Amino acid sequence: MLSIVKSMSIQGLEGFLVDVQVDVSSGMPNWEVVGLPDISVRESKERVRTAIKNSGFEFPSRRIIINLAPANTKKEGSFFDLPIAIGILIDFEEIDVQDLSNTAFIGELSLDGKINHVNGILPMCIEARKLGIKRVVLPMDDAKEAAIVENLEVIGVESLKDTVKFLNNEKIITPTIINLKDITNSKINYAFDFSDVKGQENIKRALEVAAAGGHNILMVGTPGSGKTMLARRIPSILPDLTFEEALEITKIHSVAGLISKDIPILLNRPFRSPHHTITSNSLIGGGRIPKPGEISLAHFGVLFLDELPEFNKSVLEVLRGPLEDREVTISRVNASLTYPCNFMFVASMNPCPCGFYGSKEKECTCSNEAISRYMNKISGPLLDRIDIQIEVTPVKYQKLNSNEKIESSDKIKSRVNEARKLQLERYKEYEIFSNSELTPKLIEKYCKLDIYSENIMKNAFEKLGLSARAYTRILKVARTIADLDNKEHIEAKHIAEAIQYRSLDRKYWKN
Ligand SMILES: Nc1ncnc2c1ncn2[C@@H]1O[C@H](COP(=O)(O)OP(=O)(O)O)[C@@H](O)[C@H]1O
Ligand SMILES: [Mg+2]
Ligand SMILES: [Zn+2]
């Protein structure tokens, strides 16, 4: 007899429908899976057989052929355990045959028949809904995540036995429902707030500009000057996520297996700060069953590389393409996958190996050669992709000790929001969201300089010896500063401020 049970799988961030066709016949006892299963799918055999037995069902010796259709797409993961077991139990007549054509089953079985969490539930359920599936039966632990999808009946199950009872109408399982409005209306809380940072007004201003235009930023400063502290607070001044953005980052984190069973949707901007020992694979994504890397987990949020020169040079190299393209393609044997990675890049570094070059508190013990070797660990092409560079110097003791009222992140964020609104409106026909994404053509259109600004720019290039790479960076940042000022045209003061954010080019990376 042949039974067909619907299931879902995933490729990159997209779910796709899989028909699990199970044929049980008498003949030489055998078990075969066809339809491009990878090793993780072939391993389902032992789990399914043992789970069925341990759930109290007979498992007679039969010839079992399982076909996963469409046959030309690679299947990986343990999603198919549950649909395979259901298909077999239908053939064994343990389940009353009923119309299951609008139901999809997803789940991994453990040997005792429990149903375990699987990754990628959200994208699979979004696609299932699109394809007209009305009901999904999936691990209880993943039920809330699935319930984000509207108009889809979500049946969370704990065990194979319960699932069979449910299908045989011997057990009632109420569909899982979540109240999306309650969740999305709840106030977003970030762990760190700018009101903790004393002094540093100019640095906070630079971070506000960076947040307002989505600009990448590099902070150079002595140890203890507050670089890490400042970076951690950047997500708290980025504009709130739209629901679509929240859904997109939740999909990525779902595929990576990072969604908690109680908080099914991510409403905070991600802040990822991988250690400098990270490999290229973990940074950009990959692996046998490819997972999104840190750059994709940082999508719509911040990727912070603390102590930038400590990272392996080859790791920094692989960052360049994704920084430009805002998506990353991972090549595989049979296909390639693309994950989005539109993040704000934030990096910090000391000015030299000992950390105190240019410091007033302590003398630098490094040779000129050592300093330039250190700074040159950051390659030109990477620097090219950083719009704003600032020098962080420690706050004075009086500042640290003072009780003056400090502006909160929410206040800063409200200005950022206003500036972003202008950008969204201005660029709505171009599918970009911020000034940092301006293409050369759009720079020409929206970053025109008047004669005064032109002069300042010219002077800066001649007197400060700015590099050519600095030019477009300055224009984009000046556009953001003008937006924060609610001005339609870039003015001299905007350009002057933007030029300041390139001064380190000359100090450390003269060319
Ligand atoms: N402006 C500041 N206001 C309040 N505390 C500060 C400030 N700057 C530094 N600190 C304190 O110093 C600590 C060290 O700062 P940190 O961010 O780790 O420095 P860095 O990363 O530059 O080495 C912080 O955790 C914080 O306690
Ligand atoms: Mg630090
Ligand atoms: Zn030094």
CATH of the domain at 58: 3.30.230.10
User: Which ligand is the nearest neighbour of the Cα of 371?
Assistant: 3
Residues 224 and 344 in one domain: yes
Q: Which residues contact 107 (CB under 8 A, 6 or more apart)?
A: 79, 81, 82, 115, 116, 118, 137, 138, 139, 157
In the block, tokens 């779910």 appear at 15
Q: CB of 355 closer than 6 A to ligand 1?
A: no
Residues 165 and 203 in one domain: no
d(CA 68, CA 66): 7
Point out the ligand 1 atom lying closest to the alpha carbon of residue 231: 17
196, 201, 229, best to mutate for ligand 1 pocket (most atoms within 8 Å of CB): 229
Output the domain CATH number for residue 481: 1.10.8
Q: CB of 347 closer than 6 A to ligand 1?
A: no
Residues 382 and 470 in one domain: no
Residues 397 and 492 in one domain: no
**Would you call 451 helix, strand, or coil by DSSP?**
helix
Q: Is residue 23 part of a domain?
A: yes
Residues 377 and 270 in one domain: yes
Q: Where are the alpha helices (DSSP H) in 287-355?
A: 294-297, 313-325
Q: Which residues contact 165 (CB under 8 A, 6 or more apart)?
A: 171
How much of the chain is in helix, strand and coil states, percent to nearest 5? 40, 20, 40
Q: CB of 233 closer than 6 A to ligand 1?
A: no
Residues 53 and 137 in one domain: yes
Q: CB of 321 closer than 6 A to ligand 1?
A: no
Q: What is the rounded (10 degree) CA torsion for 323, 324, 329, 330?
A: -40
Q: Do the Cβ atoms of 505 and 466 come closer than 8 Å?
A: yes
User: What's residue 461's pLDDT?
Assistant: 85
User: Which ligand is the nearest neighbour of the Cα of 375?
Assistant: 3
Point out the ligand 1 atom lying closest to the alpha carbon of residue 230: 17
Domain boundary pick from 178, 207, 237: 178
Q: CB of 228 closer than 6 A to ligand 1?
A: yes
Residues 282 and 389 in one domain: yes
User: What's residue 271's pLDDT?
Assistant: 97
Say how many domains are in the chain: 3
Point out the ligand 1 atom lying closest to the alpha carbon of residue 198: 3
Residues 135 and 11 in one domain: yes
Residues 135 and 210 in one domain: no
Q: CB of 225 closer than 6 A to ligand 1?
A: yes
Per the structure, the complete domain to which residue 482 belongs is given by 438-511
Domain boundary pick from 152, 178, 204: 178
Q: How far is the CA of 353 from the centre of ligand 2 (A)?
A: 14
Domain boundary pick from 154, 178, 202: 178
Q: How far is the CA of 231 from the centre of ligand 2 (A)?
A: 9
Structure tokens at 21: 């066709």
pTM of the model: 0.92
Q: Which residues contact 79 (CB under 8 A, 6 or more apart)?
A: 7, 8, 9, 10, 106, 107, 108, 118, 120, 124
Bridge partners of 195, per DSSP, are none
Q: Is residue 428 part of a domain?
A: no
Residues 161 and 199 in one domain: no
Q: Is residue 414 part of a domain?
A: no
Point out the ligand 1 atom lying closest to the alpha carbon of residue 394: 8
Q: Is residue 51 part of a domain?
A: yes
User: Which ligand is the nearest neighbour of the Cα of 400?
Assistant: 1
Q: How many residues does the chain have?
A: 511
Residues 108 and 210 in one domain: no
Chunked mean pLDDT (size 10), the chain, 511 residues: 92 92 90 80 87 94 90 80 96 89 96 96 97 97 95 97 96 94 80 94 97 97 96 96 92 93 89 96 85 96 96 92 92 80 96 91 92 87 90 84 88 96 95 92 95 92 78 95 97 95 76 50
What type of residue sits at position 362? Answer: K
Q: What are the DSSP calls for 184-211, one per residue? A: HHSPP--S--GGG--S-HHHHHHHHHHH
Q: Which residues contact 295 (CB under 8 A, 6 or more apart)?
A: 283, 284, 285, 303, 319, 322, 328, 341, 343
Q: Is residue 253 part of a domain?
A: yes
Beta strands at 103-105 and 388-392: parallel, antiparallel or unpaired: unpaired
Q: How far is the CA of 503 from the centre of ligand 2 (A)?
A: 22
Q: How far is the CA of 186 from the centre of ligand 2 (A)?
A: 32
Residue closest by Cα to atom 8 of ligand 1: 226
Residues 150 and 274 in one domain: no
Q: How far is the CA of 176 from the centre of ligand 2 (A)?
A: 44
Q: Is residue 426 part of a domain?
A: no
Q: How far is the CA of 323 from the centre of ligand 1 (A)?
A: 28
**CA atoms lying within 13 Å on the CB side of residue 402:** 12
Point out the ligand 1 atom lying closest to the alpha carbon of residue 229: 17
Q: CB of 83 closer than 6 A to ligand 1?
A: no
Point out the ligand 1 atom lying closest to the alpha carbon of residue 223: 23
Point out the ligand 1 atom lying closest to the alpha carbon of residue 395: 1
Q: Where are the alpha helices (DSSP H) in 92-200?
A: 121-130, 143-147, 160-167, 180-185
Output the domain CATH number for residue 232: 3.40.50.300
Q: Is residue 152 part of a domain?
A: yes
Q: Is residue 424 part of a domain?
A: no
Q: CB of 198 closer than 6 A to ligand 1?
A: yes
User: Which ligand is the nearest neighbour of the Cα of 224?
Assistant: 1
